[in-house]
Amino acid sequence: MARETWATRTGFILAAVGSAVGLGNIWRFPFITGQEGGGAFLLVYLLFVALIGFPAILVEFVIGRYTHLNPVGAIRELGSGVWNHLGWLFVVTGFVILSYYSVVAGWFLRYTLIGVTDGYALSGADEAGALFGSVATGLDSLLFHAVFMALVIGIIAAGVRGGIELGVKVMVPAIVVLLGAMAVYGFTLDASTAAYGYYLSPDFGTIATDWQSILPAAAGQAFFTLSLGMGVMITYASYLGEDRNLAADAGVIAGLDTLVAVLVGFVVFPFLFAAGIEPGAGGPGGIFVSLTTAFGDIPAGRVLGVVFFGMVGIAALSSAISILEVLVSYLIDEVGVDRLPASVALGVAVFLLGVPVTVDLIFLDLFDKLADGILLVLGSLLLALFVGWVVPDAARAELGKGIGDLGSLGTAWIWIVRVPIVVVVLVSLYLGIVDYADFLTGDLAEWLAAR
């Protein structure tokens, strides 16, 4: 059977935007921005997306379109020797990320439903914290994790055109419209002036004193939010039927992803300031606790809450499908399994791997710090070294297809991949490993000792 392709170029772009826009933009971005000092972080982050993220998207696009294969097969076809065996990293990463991504996405589905059935009228932060506790682990968490994975499997089983492309044509515009409407509402709140001030005025003093934590956090966020490091963009580009301008596509994708992340700040910070809540508090559960408290407090909070949590659920779905698609394309290309059984078998396996996260949140840290801090970074390192040093000429030629003569821009791109990207990624990898070792010997050891 012929390999599947996108029906339209718009379909490809929307699928990549759908993958990029997800929990990373909405759940991770506001709390990292809050933690790292607001405007100062935003500025560094924007620079990283443009200077490092954009060229890194092209690395994956070029590999995918050149080989028309899944990431594992693509690396095997292009490389030799030890490279032949490195592609499995992407499969492992995909399993780990999707397993907890689905659990967190399930929380957003649950919170949407809570708004519909009960509203968010809570007595304050304590009650909001207790609610989060009951949603995050236990039977509810397991159930909504299952529902979310069932949706992901359903879309992926329906194929590139009938599932992914159709799905993102509905989901991506919905996300942008809902966010835009909420940002306008946020603007009408009295607290918006204070919130914008916090969000938009970079304090250069903060950058100077805190750069050691701001730089790696901004780099990590840039890679995660653009879905880099595990072959999603390789896989999506492998379904391109004809040679278009990949650089233009990557620009649109990075631009839209950034627009959404920035818009989320225009939604979340006015809501929090309106309810008098400090941004950046409380880590992963913090946004649920602070936002439900805010939705209980501000005018039309219940409707806003349902729209907000529902929108996040949609964004998470359009990202999660891209991760399962990497695994499924591997089984289809390399093992010759049909799409339907491949989708169901891999989806169920991912579901099972995520079950421990629904039992105890220590597993969320265990998986997230491993995937986000180490595996994804390692994947990006591998791809940058591969394109920059192993197959630079083929890569440059492939990028030129659909663009024309690249001139010195092609060489500039290769050198950005060879040195700055590799350096940034190596520093992030070092920090990720140190952080993970701390976690294993600290929090995890404590948790085990308490058993």
Q: How far is the CB of 267 from ligand TRP (least distance, A)?
A: 16
Q: Can you spell out the DSSP letters for 168-228? A: HHHHHHHHHHHHHHHHHHHHHSTTHHHHHHHHH---HHHHHHHHHHHHHHHHHHHHHHTT-
Give the shortest CB-264-to-ligand TRP separation in angstroms.
11
- Minimum distance between the CB of residue 14 and ligand TRP, rounded to whole angstroms? 14
Which residue's CB is nearer to ligand TRP, number 182 or number 232?
232
Q: Which is nearer to ligand TRP, 93 or 192 (CB)?
A: 93
Q: Which is nearer to ligand TRP, 11 or 22 (by Cβ)?
A: 22
**Rounded-to-integer distance, Cα 132 and Cα 301, Å:** 18
Give me the sign of the Cα torsion angle 343, 327, 5, 178.
Answer: positive
Q: By the 8 A CB rule, do 284 and 27 touch? A: yes
Q: Closest distance between ligand TRP and the C-beta of residue 225, in Å?
A: 4
Q: Cβ 131 to ligand TRP, closest distance in Å?
A: 24
Distance CA 238, CA 236 (A): 5
Distance CA 110, CA 306 (A): 10
DSSP 8-state secondary structure symbol assigned to residue 82: G
Q: Please report how close the Cβ of residue 36 comes to ligand TRP at its closest, in angstroms.
A: 17
Measured from the Cβ of residue 395, the count of other Cβ atoms closer than 10 Å reads 23
- Measured CA to CA, the distance from residue 63 to residue 229 in angstroms comes to 13
Residue whose structure tokens are 């939010």: 225
The residues, ordered by sequence, that sit 6+ positions from 231 with a Cβ below 8 Å of its Cβ are 60, 70, 71, 72, 74, 87, 90, 94, 326, 379
Give whichever of 102 and 319 is closer to ligand TRP, judged by the CB atom: 319
Q: Which of residues 275 and 320 has its CB atom nearest to ligand TRP in the complex?
A: 320
Name residue, tokens 């918006």: 192
| Closer to ligand TRP by Cβ: residue 232 or 424 | 232
For residue 33, the minimal CB distance to ligand TRP (Å) is 14
With a CB cutoff of 8 Å and minimum separation 6, the contacts of 319 are: 18, 19, 20, 21, 22, 23, 24, 101, 227
Shortest distance (Å) from residue 338 CB to ligand TRP: 24
Residues that bind ligand TRP (CB under 6 A): 19-20, 22-25, 224-225, 227, 229-230, 232, 319, 322-323, 376
Nearer of residues 52 and 323 to ligand TRP, judged by Cβ? 323
Closest to ligand TRP by CB, 347 vs 400, is: 347
**Minimum separation from the CB atom of position 429 to ligand TRP (A):** 15
DSSP assignment string, 222-282: HHHHTT-SSSHHHHHHHT--S---HHHHHHHHHHHHHHHHHHHHHHHHHHHHHTT--TT-S
- As a whole number of angstroms, the distance between CA 199 and CA 214 comes to 15
- Name the burial class of residue 358, with classes exposed (0-12), middle (13-18) and buried (19+) by CB atoms within 10 angstroms of its CB: buried
Give the residue at shortest CB distance from ligand TRP.
Answer: 24
Query: Contact 412/382 with Cβ under 8 angstroms?
Result: no
Q: Which is nearer to ligand TRP, 23 or 114 (CB)?
A: 23
Minimal distance, residue 322 CB to ligand TRP, in Å: 5
206 vs 227, beta carbon nearer ligand TRP: 227
